[in-house]
Structure formats: C-alpha cells, structure tokens
Structure 1
C-alpha cells in the first residue's frame, strides 16, 4: 500500500494491522468501499465472489470510523444468518480488533452467558449477532439498548441474499427499522453477498423507503476459469426395485463415480435432500470399508448434531486429510471451510443463483473452479409406462438450462415483497412485549406504513389484530391500547418465539386405518392429489390440517415424490424459457459427457417428433400434455385454474398432464376460461387444504390465509396469458451474453 489509494483514508492503526498481515495493497472492492462507508450518508451493497475480501471491505472503514470518533457503546452490529458463520467471522474480526483496540463480541444462543453479561456491563465496539438474538435483545434489554446503541452507526448484513424473500428477511428489516425509529436516527446498512442479480432491485430489500437507493460496489474481476462437466447416467426402474425400501434413490453408479473421481482430495457434493445425502454417504462409506480404505466421505445436513457438523467443517478447513462432504445447502453459505478442489451436484439444482453460490466454494487462490453435475435419467427401455418427461430427458435439459444461464451471467432476480403475515404477527407481539402497550394505529404506522410490511393495508391490519384477539394473543385495554393476552404472554415467553421460522410439523399418512409414515408437509395438497411415498403412489381422500392427518388410497398412475425438505424451491420462468430454446436449437454443449450428450440428443429428437416447437399441447395415451414453458408459479396457477373448472390436472416435471382429456374438450375449456370472469388469487387459494406454511399462520383467519397464500403462490395474469396464447409459437429465451466464466470442458477423467 505504497501507492496513492483510498487506503490513505484508513486509520493509522488499521494500516499498521494490514502491514502486520503482509498486505501489499487492497483489491478493487476494498478500495471502493472505504470512501462510501466512511461518508456514512447512504446504504452500501458489496457484491463479489466468495473469498474476495468482502468482510474486510466492510470492516476496514467501519473500524476506522470507530477509531477516529471513539463513540460510547456499541458502534456497529454485524448480522449473520448462521451462528457458525458468526463464530468464523469472530476469529477474523477479533484479530483485527485486538490489534487496534476495538472490542468485538459474539452474541447468539451458543455463547456463554458470562460473555453476554460482560457486554451488558461494559458495551463497546462491534456486536456479532443473529436475527433471533437481536429479537431477544429488543424485548429483554429495551432500556439497555436505548442507552448503549444510541451511537450505533453501522449494521453489516452478511450473506444478504439468504435474507431476501424469507421470514427472517422480513424480521431483520423490521428490527432495523424499529431500531431507527426508537433511536431517532438513520443507521447505515451494509449488505455483503456473493449472489445478487438485479442489484438495484435487491437494494429495495435493504431499505424500502423512497429515495434511499444504496451505493453499489460490485467486483468486475470475478471471472475465473471453470472446469465443467455434466455426466449422464441411465437409471432403470423395475417392479422389484420399487418395493425395495432400503434403496430409495438407486444411484449406485453415481456413487461409484463420485468415489472414483473425488477420493484423495477435498470436495463438496451437493445433494438436494437430507435423505439423498444420507443414502450417498452410506454407499460411499461401504465402498471404502469393502476395499479396506480409510473413509473420506461424510454427510453434512441440518439434522446432524452441531458437534458432528463442526468436526467435518474443521476437517475440511485444515485439509490435513482427504475429505468430501456430502451436503445439503448447509455448506452453501460462507462458513469458512477453506478451498475445496471441486464441487459436485447430484441431480439438477433448483436455481441458477444457488448453483453459482456453490461454485464459489471452489477455485480460490488462482486455481480453476471445478464443477461436475451427475444427472440420472430413467431409461425408456426399462418401463413401457415411462412418463413423457423421461423421454424428453427433462433432468438433462433442466440442468443444461441452469448451466447455460449461469455461464451467461444470468440468475434469478430478488423475490418480490409479500404479505409475510406470520412474521408480522411475531413483530406485533415483539413490539408490544417491548413497550408494554401501544395504540393499534401506532403499531400499523411503525410496522406497515413506514416499515417492511407495506402490502398490509390498515384494513387488513385490523383483521389481523382481530384474529390475534380471538386467539387471546392480544387484548385491548380500556384506554384503547393493545397489550399481550394470556396466550400471547406464554408465546412470547418461550425461547422459540425469537425465531420467525418454525420447526417443521409432521403430518401422519394413514391407509385403511394404519399409519404408513409421517412427513413434514411442504407442498399444497388437496383432495384427489397424488404423491409418491415409501416407493408407492397414493391419492389423498381425506385431509385434516388441525390434526395433521392425511388419509390416502393406492394410486397406480404417475405421481411425484412428496417434498420433505423445506418449502419447495420454484423454478423461475427464465429457466424453462431457456429449456425451450435448447430444445429448439442444434448445438450440443461441449461439457456434456458421452451419456449426457446421448440423453440430450434423445430429448431433442422427442421434442421435434412431438412438434413442440409449434404446439403447446400434444395428445398421449393417458391424456393431454400441455407445455407452458414457464416457471413453477405460473404452471401451478394453470393447474389450479383447470381444477376450478373440474378438470383433473397435475404438474409433472416441465409439463402438465390432463388425464383422459381430448383435444376438443381442452379447446372448449380454454375458451370457457377466457370468456369467464377472471378468477382471483383468494378464491383459488380457498380450494387448497393446507394454507399454513409459516410459524404463526395458524392464528390467521381463513380469509387472511387465502389472501397471503394466493398472492405468494399464484400468478393469474401469467396463467391467463398462457391460455390466450396456448397455440401461438413463443419467442425463445435469449439471455444477455455476458459470460462470467471461461469454459473448459476438458476435466481429466480421474479427477
């Protein structure tokens, strides 16, 4: 740092610390962040690849500000979605704090109460905290925070993309807004993320107030060489395999290749569910022991104990032994696990953004990133009743679509704002618990009119308050103020109240009076819907959301597995539009191996044979297949509209099956839909059995649940546009060609 640069604006103690580390110069985002953050006049978003120095980009100027002014109390708060990430960052930030004389304190559920007590007695410097612990702080230390956070000037949000569009994101936005209102000051928000598309739109998630656009610092030097391969596999389905409950995934060939390709190095293998993670880890453990080799493959997911997860994370980080973690998205965020050699993805991921985040784990220290996708397709030769998606090679085209979009630097835009009534209920109770009592209009102005729940009108807010009163969560005093009811006091007093998300509740699946299993239900189910469970197809004949009970009967037609791992991720419109373009094209991507290329050619030939370039529906032996080439939200809306008109419909892969329906009937139904008054989201939601997804949805009236569910899950306009253009050829999707990677498909077969 001998050349003239923005580093000259840093406090001399910070400069000495950087010399102590041996840093010769700052990178581009660190240089750009210094004046923006020191100016302290606008929010800042720092978007750059994993391991690009975003943390230092924020904390070098933040610590400079603290050293220059020496404010009393807590001057900066760092917020992370993960306790493990706080523990990682604490080591880095504490090292700098110790050197320059700034106190750094971690604060979450696993931190010793003695550490927290010392902070309460002598607060200063930087506080590292989760949204849940911040909620507890606002409620239980109201007098303390009003005194010792009065000089708070920065809130740093790590892994910002993980908060966008989810309950914890609304909770965090509400917490930051409440702090500013109580402290009567604007606090600069600094968001750090490796995965943001349409950053201007993401800025509205950082602060929704008008005329509050953030300063954007985006790395332009993140391009790196990517060694990429999509490996295809033929999977066979026989009757005896369907009954084999010990082998639910049938990925033996995939596991064997994972073992051969990854053994002896450090890697991450992303599976799309906890069950698949355990299954793959078990097979590879057996391969190791059968060959008298040390075990290198270990599962990592949220159901495992903290001790098991941390031991595996430390083993990855130290890299003393070859280690491969077979994981869910638990290792997608920024926990420090060092530099892994390669990333593997088993089955198609659900989003481009998630795939890009995972790639960031590989290819550090000027090495190429390595990504392999392992995609299995059910062989048409193995089962004459194969679904159309198998013959179209849907998994291969979905995976290729995601890769092509990623390579063209396209990924899903931030989610639009929702009602988020469950989190609003939590914040209503939290505010009342903090202040004791409050007028309803003051509460609405704080949380909705000027806060993050801007979709909630005063009328809807009054309905929510009425529902809370009916459930004894709140009560109205003689002077009109709202205070907690007896049930509300019990809810708020529980440790679990501080989190805005719920632990999944299990539904019992019954057949002929016998329980065949329990599942956490994360998808809409109505009477007549079908799903796969325990290797067999089932149809819903009775549903009781209060008793968490589903009664079923056997179903012999095609059904999809029931979703058990969190709220289902939705495929974006752009991904399916890109699939359509790939089907219509002539080129074969160079990164497909021999089997994957064969699947790709077979899928394209079937697409042409069915004439899907010029038609949006085809007739099959079991009914009519329609192809909207749109994302899951529009496709699910189309299904519900058809059901409203008494047409049996179910979404399968990238198409919708209308069993037993003729072309003539389909055209008549489409004409009826277009000529009838347009349905609304609430009316359609009223037909859904399980409307309770989020933690406090159970306290909402049926009307409020339908408003929230319909807005979140249905796109009436998008569905109606499909019906209007059902027979019109669509223009293929063509993303902006702004490649983020230099492609090299030549991955050595032994690595």
Structure 2
C-alpha cells in the first residue's frame, strides 16, 4: 500500500517542514497509489479537503521519478478566477522540485504567452477553451508544445460534466491524445455528486473499460459505530423575510463583525441586494459574471483580507476560489440543486471547533418551499447525479470545424479517428459532416476536408475566435466610467422607453448613461445617487426544477418539514402556503382542478422537463402554445374524465419529445452548422424527461371542481 514515503523525498521534506503538516489528509493519502500507478481517477471529497494537493503531489512525484519533460501536466478548471487562485500554490509545489507552473487563459497577456511557448512550463493551468485555441492557433506548434503531455487534472469536474462544456472538454482531450500518440492519465476532482462511478467512466472518454480507473473517496478513519439519525451536522436555518429590502435589513443586523458570503440566483438580485446593503452602511462587495475582471478581483482580494463585511455573489464563488476565513453563508431563496447547496455550505466550518452553517432567507412563497425542498432532500443524503446532456450534435459540428482548422486538411474517411470512437463523435456524426459540406462550412476535395467559405464568413472574425469560444453569453454592452470598465449590461436597458435620464445599476451602485457607442457596443456612464436598474437576459429555455426537487416541494406542501431550524416567520408562512395549496396536492397521485372561469389545470408536481414531455404527449387535451412550468399543465376547457381516461391509456408507450420554440433553436450555439431538424431534435431530447413523465402517467388522477 502506497503512502507518503512513496512521494518524492524533496516533496515530503517540504510537506513536513515548509507546510508544517504532520500527516496527509485521508484523500491525499488514498490518492497516492492509484495516481503513481498511472490510473485514471475521480478524487471525491468535500470542499477544503485538499483535493488539489491530492492530485498534484503524486503527479509531481511521478514527474520527477520518470523524468517527464516539457509540459507534462495540464490543470484544467471551469473558471479563470479559480485558475488565478490556484497558480501561487502550484508554483510553490513545482518549485520544490525545480519545476515550473504557468497560467494560460483569455486574460493572459500576449507577452506572457510567448514566454510560455519558448519556456514550456511543467504544469500548465488553463481552460478547455484556451486549450482549443492553442490547438488551432497558427502561433502555437501544438505537436511540439504538447509532446510531453502525460496527465490532465480536471478540477470541479462535475461543473463540466453536467453541460456542453463537458462534451467539448472530452473532445479536446481525445484530440490531444492523438497529437501526443499516447494515453493521457485523467484525474477529476469533485465533491457533492450522486454517481461518481458513472462520472469516472464519462471522464475516461474513449478509454472507459480499457484503462485502469477508480473512485478515490476515503471515509473518515474513525467513523461512528452507527449512522446518526437525522440530517448531516450543521447549523442550518430557514427564515421567511418576504422581500429583498427585508433581507438586506436582516443581513445588516445579524452577525456583525463577521465575514458573510451571500448567494443569489441572479445577477439582478446580486446588484439590488448589494445596493441595499451599502445603503445600510454594510461594507459590501459583489461578484458575478457581468462584472469586469478588475471589479471581481478587487472584490475577492478585499473580501479575503476584511473581517466585518459581506460579499454578494451568484454561483461564481460557489466553486473552490479562496475567499479567506469565512464565518457565514447566507442563501437567498433556494439554489437550483442540492449539489449547489452542498458546495456553498462547504465554504464554512473550516476552522477547528466551528460547524458548517447556512441561513436561508426566502423572499417569497416559491423561495420558501423551494428552500425547504432542497433541505429535505439534503437531509436524506440525496444528491443529483451528474448526467451529460444528450445528443451534443452542435458540439460535434464545432469540433469538426475546429479539427479542420487545427490540421488544415483532414481525410474525409479518417476524421472519426481523432476522437478514438468517443460516442457522439463516431459514425453517427456523418449526417453532420454531409451538411457541413453541402452548406459550404467544409470543402471536400481529393478525399480531404478543409474549412470552407461559409465557416470563414460566420466564424472567421478575429482568427475564428467565435468558433473556439464555445460558450458565450448573450450580446452585452461594455459599461465604462472614463477608461475604467465596470462590467457589462443587457442592451434592453439601453433601448427600452423611459422618462428622464437613463440609469443603470452595476457593481452595486447607480450610474447615469452619458453616451452610447452603438457600433462598438460601449456605454459611458457617470456615478449618481440611486435610481439605477439592473437586467440581464439569459438562455433560460432549458431551465427548470428537477422532478425530484419538485416532488419534494409537494411533500413540503403536504406537511413535511426539513429537519433544520425554522424561524417563527418561516413556520407561520409555511402554514399559510400549505392551506392555499391544500386542494392541489395529493400524496397518492396528481390532481386536475377546474376553477370558475378558467382552464382546467393538471397539477403534476413533476418539474419543467417532465411537464414539457407530458404536454407534447397529450397534445390533444393540452392548451396549445403554453409555457410549461414546474408544477402543472393547462388543459382544454372541454376535457372530460372519459376523454382523459381514453387518452392516457397506453400513453407511457407513446411518449413524445417536447415541442421546441424556434427562438430556442436560434439560441443553440452553432445551430447554424446543423441541419435544422437535427438542431431541433437536439433541444427536444434535452428538454425531455421521459422517465419522470412515465411515472406521472402511471399515477392515479383526481378530478376536482370549483377550486378557487
């Protein structure tokens, strides 16, 4: 059994004498053997369990023992801020062995990149998008640069696997393996996932089943003799405050002198709450994706050093960015997943003798029941499985174009070999290739594929930047005060009709617009006292609460309380909400109600995706054109129980994929490089929840009349 003595002696010396560690943590100890043996692995542990060291110490030891040369380890993260945060640690660890680490992403200067290309670091910290940019860049000899590659560490791997960035990452890793002509060890770091074995197989890509692999998730050395009843330990409270103003009042009054991290589910709410806290004299910092890099970095640095302060953030601070010694986490309304809650809860309780804590402040009834549902599922030990989105045909199209950009010419029968048989990039991608050739995105000549005029026209601007920037936000205007960038705002705020001066809310303060440069998408502002508005629109067409969490909401409405501290306000409000929904929930099935003067409504409590699937399957009795929600579906006014019984009979055997709005298809990145029917089918598969829809259709239905 490998242990700390199997690490490089110089590394062990510094672990003991420089870091002052008397022993490794359980995960760090358990990771040594499989990583030194070259196995693929998922290292699974809660936040602040030392996952970075668990991966880097064995790989650095292997680097020294096997005399790896050149850039032999890639450290991939989903966020540039996380990379910036990790760089000093990895520079320290590599320096102990006379090795180097460097950073490469979109904010790194051209001068620094040139130095990296001439003086290849042993460890390169980067993002998947930057890796792709290096592969297609005329300025990077990718064959020479990556020739020494041996291992890739993917931090926060669950953040990739659950969306299209995961497919993109896997495809780029397969191309890298072909460039270096050897298997590359893959190590994923994660916390809070419900299906680690499946995640590991996903991470292995084409190597799944042929390469040794294991999940490393050590248990505590001295577990309790039997599982303790009730939820996991932690100081968790649920309060109902009813508005953002009241939330600001509570936050300003509670835990003075402590460092508090407040999570919101939208940038707009971050801005509004930040402004309200500052108006109450609270030292407040903000963090979200539409703030400038400098604004976010200043906030993170100031927050790390301050004590009596609050930082208000979206999920940008959910991952492993270090914000110093945190005292409290406050959650406004409910996070979208239990996994997200666990990440946020894990920000606290790191000091000896302290408990992890989180205070939920519900702004409305939906926030209250949603928070209670998340806490109910958390108390049961349930966490969402990480599942890759199905049918990533648009990513296949993007990868085909990127490969031709990388290699200049690719054999029209050999392109599949670049992905080594990886699922969606195999023979099933041939219709996409034919479409790309037919529409001029690719040219075909002499048995070779190469970039065509349509790809040049649509993606060629600035050296094909749009092609390599796989995941972009909707177009926004850059907001500038003088020469200083504050952040970005939605163009709707600059075009909507208003009376009086146009004012924006950004970085927690109000700004008056003085000039708009429409061509360059810039907006110049000056500070003012109050009156600013915040707004961002995003691709919300695939959003919605899961079947499991929506059913947990139903349990809450039926009387289930999460085993946490509920304030008097929360308990009183829950009673009111339960009374209101009493006719609409039933523990043994679903309910169809017919109120006075309205459409019948089917209360499924099944989640957005399941309801979209059911609405398409039962289109004969569903009100057409409606926007589905998490809890129910509007039905036609002439519905009768007999019609319903006839239609539902056998419906589980003829489930239909949901209808997809044309605007949603236009919002799919690279949809223009797909045949329209395949772009539509891609979104339809992603919008569906067939298992949940099947479950709902097998449940009894109660018909109720005259429900107000």
TM-score relative to the length of structure 2: 0.83
Partner of 1:60: 57
Structure 2 match to 1:396:
368
Could you tell me which residue of structure 2 aligns to residue 231 of structure 1?
A: 239
- Any conservation in 1 of the 2:330–2:358 contact (CA below 8 Å)? yes
Alignment of 1:450 onto 2:449: no
Q: 1:433 to 1:688 in 2, by over 3 A?
A: closer
Is the Cα contact below 8 Å between 2:237 and 2:567 reproduced in 1?
A: yes
1:599-625 Cα offsets, whole Å, 9 max, x none, are 222333445455623451233233323
What is the correspondence of 1:274-313 to structure 2 with a 5 Å cutoff? 274-288=267-281, 295-313=282-300
Match of 2:515 in 1: none
SS of 2:666's partner is coil
Aligned counterpart, 1:494: 464
In 2, distance between residues paired with 1:434 and 1:5? 41
Kept in 2, the 8 Å contact 1:577–1:630? The answer is yes
User: Which of 458, 473, 495 in structure 1 is aligned with 2:441?
Assistant: 473
Asked if 1:620 is matched to 2:572, the reply is no
1:68 positional shift: 1.4
1:346 aligns with 2:317: no
| 1:145 CA displacement | 3.2
Q: Which moved more, 1:328-337 or 1:484-493?
A: 484-493
Structure 1 residue 577 corresponds to structure 2 residue 551:
yes
| Aligned-partner Cα distance in 1 for 2:120–2:425 | 37
- The reply to whether residue 708 of structure 1 matches residue 676 of structure 2 is no
Q: Provide the C-alpha distance between the structure 2 equivalents of 1:441 and 1:645, rounded to a whole number of angstroms.
A: 48
1:327 equivalenced with 2:313 (yes/no): yes
Structure 1 segment 162-173 matched on structure 2, within 5 A: 162-173=159-170
Distance in structure 1 (CA, Å) of the matches to 2:660 and 2:233:
50
Work out the CA distance in 1 between the residues paired with 2:543 and 2:314: 13
- 1:670 is displaced (CA, Å) by 5.3
Q: Do the aligned partners of 1:607 and 1:613 also contact (CA within 8 Å) in 2?
A: no
Mean alpha-carbon deviation: is it higher for 167-176 or for 465-474? 465-474
1:140 deviates by 2.3
Of 242, 248, 261, 1:255 maps to 248
Shift of 1:403: 0.7
Contact 1:48 1:193 in 2 (8 A): yes
Counterpart of 2:18 in structure 1 is: 20
Aligned to 1:435: 407
CA distance in 1, matches of 2:96, 2:397: 44
Q: What is aligned with 2:623?
A: 647
Partner of 1:734: none
Alpha-carbon separation, structure 2, partners of 1:481 and 1:75: 32
After superposition, residues 91-490 of structure 1 pair within 5 angstroms as 91-140=88-137, 144-209=141-206, 210-211=208-209, 212=211, 214-221=213-220, 225-233=233-241, 235=242, 250-288=243-281, 295-319=282-306, 321-366=307-352, 367-377=354-364, 393-447=365-419, 450-451=421-422, 454-455=423-424, 458=427, 461-477=429-445, 479-489=446-456
Change in Cα spacing, 1:397 to 1:625, as seen in structure 2 (3 Å) is: same
| Secondary structure of residue in 2 paired with 1:570 | coil
2:45 and 2:690 mapped to 1: Cα distance? Answer: 36
Between the aligned partners of 1:653 and 1:680, the Cα distance in structure 2 is: 19
Offset at residue 83 of structure 1 (A): 1.5
Greater RCO structure (CA 8 Å; 6+ sep) = 1
Per-residue Cα deviation, 1:317-363 (whole angstroms, up to 9, x for no partner): 123x4221111111111111112111111112211111111111111
Partner of 1:629: 605
Say whether residues 1:591 and 2:565 are aligned partners: yes
> Which secondary structure state, in structure 1, belongs to the residue aligned with residue 18 of structure 2?
helix
Map 1:651-662 onto structure 2 (within 5 A). Answer: 654-658=630-634, 661=637
Deviation at 1:115, TM superposition (A): 2.7
Shift of 1:54: 0.5
Helix, strand or coil at the partner of 1:105 = strand
Provide the rounded CA distance (Å) in 2 between the counterparts of 1:587 and 1:284.
Answer: 31
Query: Given that residues 108 and 130 in structure 1 are in contact (C-alpha distance below 8 angstroms), is that contact kept between their aligned partners in structure 2?
Result: yes
Given the superposition, is the C-alpha separation of residues 494 and 475 from structure 1 closer, same or farther in structure 2, using an over 3 Å criterion?
A: same
Q: Is the 8 A contact 1:616 1:628 kept in 2?
A: yes
Does the CA-based 8 Å contact 1:50-1:360 persist in structure 2?
yes
Distance in 2 (alpha carbons) for counterparts of 1:444 and 1:158: 28
Deviation at 1:286, TM superposition (A): 1.5
Match of 1:31 in 2: 29
State how far apart, in whole Å, the 2-side matches of 1:197 and 1:31 are: 23
Residues 588 and 700 in structure 2, CA contact (< 8 A), matched pair in contact too? no
Unpaired runs of at least 5, structure 2: 224-230, 477-489, 499-534, 704-708
SS at match of 1:101: coil
Q: CA deviation at 1:676?
A: 7.5
Cα distance, 1:261–1:642 mapped onto 2, change above 3 Å: farther
**Does the 8 Å contact 1:339/1:363 carry over to 2?**
no
Which whole-Å CA distance do the structure 1 matches of 2:628 and 2:571 have between them? 23
Q: Distance in 2 between matches of 1:405 and 1:720?
A: 22
CA shift in 2, pair 1:660/1:595, >3 Å: farther
Tell me the CA shift for residue 724 of structure 1: 4.0
Q: Which moved more, 1:711-720 or 1:341-350?
A: 711-720
- Checking the alignment, whether the CA contact within 8 Å between 1:76 and 1:152 is kept in structure 2 is yes
Q: Distance in 2 between matches of 1:124 and 1:287?
A: 48
CA offset at residue 722 of structure 1? 2.3
RMSD over aligned Cα atoms: 3.1
* Structure 2 CA distance for partners of 1:680 and 1:692, relative to 1, 3 Å: farther
- Tell me whether 1:723 sits opposite 2:690 in the alignment: no
Spell out, residue by residue over 1:495-532, the C-alpha distance to the aligned partner (whole angstroms, 9 max, x if none).
Answer: 3332211331489999xxx9669xxxxxxxxxxxxxxx
Q: Matched residue of 1:78: which SS?
A: strand
**Matched residue SS, 1:73:** coil
- CA apart distance, 1:257: 0.8
SS in structure 1 at match of 2:363: strand
**Alpha-carbon distance between aligned partners in 1 of 2:379 and 2:563, rounded to the nearest angstrom:** 12
| Alignment gaps of 5+ in structure 1 | 236-249, 289-294, 378-392, 518-561, 730-751
